[in-house]
């Protein structure tokens, strides 16, 4: 016959252990409570505060793979917005919608092709915004290391208009995730390598969605820590990347654009005729929209560009020291030079800057 043993009377050691465990659990709970009080805001309040500084952008596109919407971040009370440089901005009219539903026409102030960052402006006043760090405060992100208090394991919110679901005064979407790692970006879009090779935050939430690019990455205290990147695939594996550009790089790109001013746009002169880059032996990627980035499609054998070392997949970022952010900008910069003037182009190749001297500018109607 089976018998049941009666439970033993707790010993003094067991009672002490139970007391210690109970005390530890209570202390942990108290710390968590104090942390919540110190933060001063619930996750819902943090998201709401961040969303007021995020805008919905609408422009060119509207076909599969070329969506006509993305996200931006307000970074000045006067209406400066940082976002990603994309085909959405290749439009004469860019529509900006604030969190409260107010609409403004946005103007493209300039672009940083290396970081693929653009700066827009709307005619607003006293707008809620994030304050970007100064260049003295900004420190480059180090792979695997903490940056400005942000390190792998930091819990974050990604705020963006993914899939364009938010319209009017509807709030942008919020995703909760963790910064998995800080690594150099090695990515591509189709056959073209991404020009930026600095460190980025790799996220464990899916942000590689249409409309997410340009969104805000904030921590649980509501601080801006990064900007959501474009839809890119990892060079090594081909998988879609979920990443964000650290806020210090966003600040550098923003201030570099302001320093260049409207010159970075290379706005064509009304009476200027674009120069045919084929005269230099350069074939750029097809000009699908007004501001297609000036990637080199191919170089003609025996041309001055071939002799100067230009290669396919190079991204032109300057002509004779002046910024260019589109095919048309390259053509206008060259058109502004006199026949026979020396031509020097600056390109991004494999994440580095390369200078190429092409010699005297061929006259229109000549041979490459």
pLDDT by residue (tens digit) across 32-83?
433 443 456 899 999 999 999 999 999 987 666 678 999 999 999 999 999 9
- Which of the given ranges, 58-62, 178-182, 267-271, has the highest pLDDT on average? 178-182
Q: Is the pLDDT of residue 279 over 80?
A: yes
Can you name the CATH fold of 266-360?
Pdz3 Domain (2.30.42)
Phi, psi at 106, each rounded to 5°: -110, 145
Which residue shows structure tokens 């942390």? 35
Phi, psi at 273, each rounded to 5°: -100, 130
Q: Which of 166-175, 198-207, 334-343 has the lowest mean pLDDT?
A: 334-343
110 — pLDDT class (breaks 50, 70, 90): confident
Q: What's the CA dihedral at 66, 68, 69, 73 to 10 degrees? A: 90
Two domains, one topology: 46-262 and 266-360: no
The tokens for 165 are 């679901």
The tokens for 9 are 């009377």
User: Alpha-carbon torsion 213, 214, 220, 225, what sign?
Assistant: positive
The tokens for 100 are 């409260």
The DSSP letter of residue 53 is T
What percent of the chain lies above the pLDDT cut of 90?
A: 49
More confident: 325 or 285: 285
Are the beta carbons of 134 and 255 closer than 8 angstroms?
no
Q: Is the pLDDT of residue 120 over 90?
A: yes
Determine whether 303 is exposed, middle or buried from the number of CB atoms within 10 Å of its CB (0-12, 13-18, 19+): buried
| Mean pLDDT of the 205-222 span | 95
| Mean pLDDT of the 99-123 span | 92
CATH 2.40.40.20 fits 46-262, yes or no: no
Measured distance CA(263)–CA(261) in Å, rounded: 5
More confident: 40 or 258: 258
Q: Measuring CA to CA, which residue among 330, 319, 209, 200 is closest to residue 274?
A: 330
Q: Is the pLDDT of residue 21 over 50?
A: no
Half-sphere exposure of 307 (CA within 13 A, CB side): 10
Q: Is the pLDDT of residue 269 over 50?
A: no
The pLDDT value given to residue 114: 82
Helix (H) / strand (E) containing 142: none
| Mean pLDDT of the 330-346 span | 87
Measured distance CA(142)–CA(151) in Å, rounded: 10
Q: Is the pLDDT of residue 101 over 60?
A: yes
More confident: 270 or 66: 66
More confident: 169 or 18: 169
The pTM assigned to this predicted structure is: 0.67
Q: CA separation (Å) from 95 to 58, 60, 68, 329, 345?
A: 5, 10, 10, 23, 33
Q: Is the pLDDT of residue 289 over 70?
A: no
CB within 8 Å of 269: residues ≥ 6 apart? 332, 336
Residues 138-177: tens digit of each pLDDT: 555 555 555 556 899 999 999 999 999 998 999 999 999 9
| Mean pLDDT of the 122-134 span | 93
The pLDDT value given to residue 210: 93
- Which of the given ranges, 43-57, 83-97, 130-144, 276-290, has the highest pLDDT on average? 43-57
More confident: 296 or 17: 296
E strand segments, 75-184: 80-84, 94-97, 103-112, 117-121, 155-160, 173-184
Domain locations in the chain? 46-262, 266-360
The pLDDT value given to residue 256: 86
The pLDDT value given to residue 92: 80
Q: Measuring CA to CA, which residue among 226, 215, 208 is closest to residue 99?
A: 215
Q: Is the pLDDT of residue 303 over 70?
A: yes
Summary mean pLDDT of the chain = 81
């Amino acid at each position: 016959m089976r018998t049941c043993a009666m439970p033993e009377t707790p010993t003094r050691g067991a009672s002490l252990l139970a007391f210690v465990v109970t005390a530890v659990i209570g202390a942990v709970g108290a710390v968590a409570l104090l942390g919540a009080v110190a933060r001063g805001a619930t996750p819902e309040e943090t998201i709401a505060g961040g969303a007021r500084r995020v805008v919905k952008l609408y422009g060119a596109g509207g076909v599969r793979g070329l969506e006509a919407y993305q996200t931006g971040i307000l970074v000045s009370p006067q209406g400066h917005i940082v976002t990603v440089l994309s085909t959405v901005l290749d439009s004469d009219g860019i529509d900006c919608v604030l969190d409260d539903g107010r609409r403004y026409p946005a103007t493209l102030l300039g672009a940083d092709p290396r970081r693929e960052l653009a700066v827009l402006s709307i005619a607003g006043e006293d707008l809620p915004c994030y304050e970007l760090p100064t260049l003295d405060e900004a420190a480059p992100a180090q792979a695997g290391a903490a940056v400005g208090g942000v390190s792998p394991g930091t819990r974050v919110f990604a705020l963006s208009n993914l899939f364009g679901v938010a319209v009017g005064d509807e709030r942008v979407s919020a995703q909760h995730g963790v910064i998995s790692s800080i690594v150099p970006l090695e990515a591509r879009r189709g056959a073209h390598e991404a020009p930026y090779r600095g460190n980025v935050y790799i996220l464990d939430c899916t942000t590689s969605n249409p409309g997410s690019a340009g969104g805000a990455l904030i921590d649980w205290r509501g601080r801006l820590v990064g900007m959501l990147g474009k839809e890119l695939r990892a060079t090594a594996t081909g998988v879609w990347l979920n990443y964000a550009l650290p806020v210090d790089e966003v600040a550098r790109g923003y201030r570099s654009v302001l320093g260049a001013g409207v010159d970075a746009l290379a706005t064509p002169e009304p009476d200027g005729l674009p120069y045919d880059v084929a005269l230099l032996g350069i074939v750029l990627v097809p000009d699908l929209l007004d501001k297609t980035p000036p990637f080199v499609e191919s170089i003609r054998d025996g041309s001055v560009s071939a002799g100067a070392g230009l290669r396919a997949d190079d991204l032109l970022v300057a002509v004779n020291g002046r910024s260019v952010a589109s095919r048309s900008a390259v053509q206008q910069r060259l058109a502004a030079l006199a026949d026979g003037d020396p031509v020097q182009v600056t390109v991004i190749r494999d994440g580095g800057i390369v200078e190429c001297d092409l010699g005297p500018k061929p006259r229109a109607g000549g041979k490459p």
